[in-house]
Chain A
């Protein structure tokens, strides 16, 4: 029983840390890059001004990639802590 409770605690701590990491990444691509868009526009990527690119495409792409990675990472945590579902 106590090891099970222990496992649950480890699992939740790791889950929470993963959440915090992904919220930080989300915050950067949602707000920070757009707040500094005028500065980023001085840089050019694939002929796009970077500030415009991030709002039109870059942040979106980051979110998609982030979610596939997040789902892999969380599955790993669930598996290693013995909390994964039986498939």
Chain B
């Protein structure tokens, strides 16, 4: 009994615990600021930030260790709505959201905002179509639902296949990001940074599974949101945009439109290509005005949204709430916490662009002499690490818009320096980026390892395995998959965002319709679901291969980032056609579907299964 009392009091005390934690973190930032003014070197401060935060996450991971099945797989199903919302937000916002999104908007302008819309609106699908029903079902993993709803190990296996392909694509990008940030902050080679990042990730998840990941993700959300908002608000205050800069940058958008004409953005093209960097050629506020352009916008939005609702590491977060009602509320809170970052990113991109373009500001770059620009401290620093380059292609000694090359990531990473904020803010940003990448990697690794340990090992290979064996297998798999992902990440196959978008496309191609129709269409049967998963995945992968490497021209602008449209379309057709050609599911299955549609009553699967 005393164990349960302690559990209860832990949950009741969560606001106090995380309040203290937040206060402690703010205090730590203050101490670092004092250390900086006392002359502590910048490298040491960066190291302290990354080292200290990882140590805290590891401590939480160790404190949350468990040998209970439902604690390991679904955090004991007692995570309160608001905290699950924060954990989901951290689970969701990856290195790409934190580091690359604002830079993408800076470079791409309006068309890139498709990511902002797509990565938020997907939660409407999660709340309305999926999460409450999967919670009522009571599964441990997403393939657990597929396997039980449709019946048979083969359907389950197909679910695991899609999950592994989508999540593994995603996790390599995250481990790549942790490696990049760790190598910069700790001054170690990238290859070492990748393995060190993995060690940190495993410390958070290995001993306590979902329970440990939940409580570290809440801690990581707090760090990442502070790290994202503080520099933007500080910078906008310096520029006189006030305390809530997100609401008042409309005039900056108009100002940029004037400056773009002056600097001939879009007219002047770069004379040469610089690997990994680009010069600004897209206007900030130029919405797609051609048919293909509009198609590209809405198909990207659709892929990111439907992908959101199919990604197992997100769906499984809603298995951890105490009730169906809480799962539904928790999706709303998740989106609220995600919104805080996503509606800030376009503001950050706009402010940074204004600082670079506006000759009236001391920070401006375009239109100044090459000598002046090269003398700027932040330009020197980021040029030396290959994030930025000035090439005077026309030899007039002045930096034109097409002569200033940079990597998009710099918009977030260098904001504090561009705006002349103290270095302690840069350390904070590094810690935030690390938190974002680690928390997503945690969730993804756990999703893969849990599917393999629960759905493959326990359900197919050894159904008689006892709890101890199941949890040991789960942990061994976690380490093995982490190591495989780190090995792939150290090859640096693609840039962060390319791989992230693909993960969404893979997930929606194989999983979206089998999941949705499993809940909303009682007639859907095993044969249909298997066809939906395999045909969707197969056609999607074929299309990706053909447009990316096979030399095929994309259909109406649907390129490799959007292949999920083709995959999910094929999946829907295959699933409906095959289902209608084969007999309907038996009475027991239909009753099960009725059961998950009402919140009250016991879950379909028992609390430990």
Contact = CB atoms under 8 A, between A and B. Distances in A.
A12 B597 contact: yes
A47 B254 contact: yes
| Interface class of chain B by DSSP | helix
Interface in B246-286: 246-251, 253-254, 285
Interface in B97-156: 110, 113-114, 116-118, 120-121, 123-125, 127-129, 132
Contacts of A51: 110, 285, 287
A3 interface: no
Contacts of B18: none
Interface string B326-339: 00110110011001
Interface of A: 8, 11-12, 15, 19, 22-23, 26, 29-31, 34-35, 37-38, 41, 44-49, 51-53, 55-57, 59-61, 63-64, 66-68, 70-71, 74-75, 78, 82-87
23 contacts: A8-B594, A8-B597, A31-B298, A34-B114, A34-B117, A34-B294, A38-B288, A46-B247, A48-B249, A49-B285, A51-B110, A56-B116, A56-B343, A56-B346, A60-B121, A60-B339, A63-B124, A64-B339, A67-B124, A67-B127, A67-B332, A70-B128, A78-B599
B334 to A, nearest CB: 9
Nearest to A68: B332
A55 B347 CA distance: 12
A68 B346 CA distance: 24
Contacts of A84: 325, 599-600
Given A8-B594, A60-B343, 9 more contacts: A26-B128, A29-B121, A30-B302, A46-B247, A47-B254, A57-B346, A59-B120, A67-B332, A75-B328
Nearest to A45: B250
B598 interface: yes
A55 to B, nearest CB: 4
B253 A49 contact: yes
B500 interface: no
Given A34-B117, A83-B598, A84-B599, A57 B287 contact: no
B543 to A, nearest CB: 22
A55 B339 contact: no
Contacts of B246: 57
B253 A48 contact: yes
Contact of A19 (B128, B301, B346): B128
Contact of A46 (B118, B250, B294): B250
B600 A83 contact: yes
Interface in B299-343: 301-302, 305, 323-325, 328-329, 331-332, 335-336, 339, 342-343
**Lowest 6 A-B CB distances belong to which pairs?**
A47-B250, A37-B287, A48-B250, A55-B113, A67-B332, A56-B346
A87 B123 contact: no
Contacts, number: 151
A11 B598 CA distance: 8
A60 B125 contact: no
A63 B120 contact: yes
Nearest to B337: A64
B597 A15 contact: yes
A34 B339 contact: no
Contacts of A45: 250
A55 B363 CA distance: 28
A87 B117 CA distance: 35
Contact of A60 (B116, B254, B289, B594): B116
Given A38-B287, A84-B325, A63 B294 contact: no
Contacts of B92: none
B217 to A, nearest CB: 20
B297 interface: yes
A23 B325 contact: no
Contacts of A11: 597-598
B110 A37 contact: yes
A68 B124 CA distance: 10
A65 to B, nearest CB: 9
Nearest to A69: B332
B297 A60 contact: no
Contact of A57 (B301, B336, B343): B343
Contacts of A56: 113, 116, 343, 346-347
B121 A26 contact: yes
A60 B323 contact: no
A82 to B, nearest CB: 8
A22 B598 CA distance: 19
Given A30-B121, A47-B250, A59-B120, A64 B110 contact: no
A26 B120 CA distance: 11
A26 B253 contact: no
A6 to B, nearest CB: 13
Contact of A66 (B124, B302, B346): B124
A12 B302 CA distance: 27
Contacts of B325: 71, 75, 78, 84-85, 87
Given A30-B121, A56-B116, A61-B339, A37 B288 contact: yes
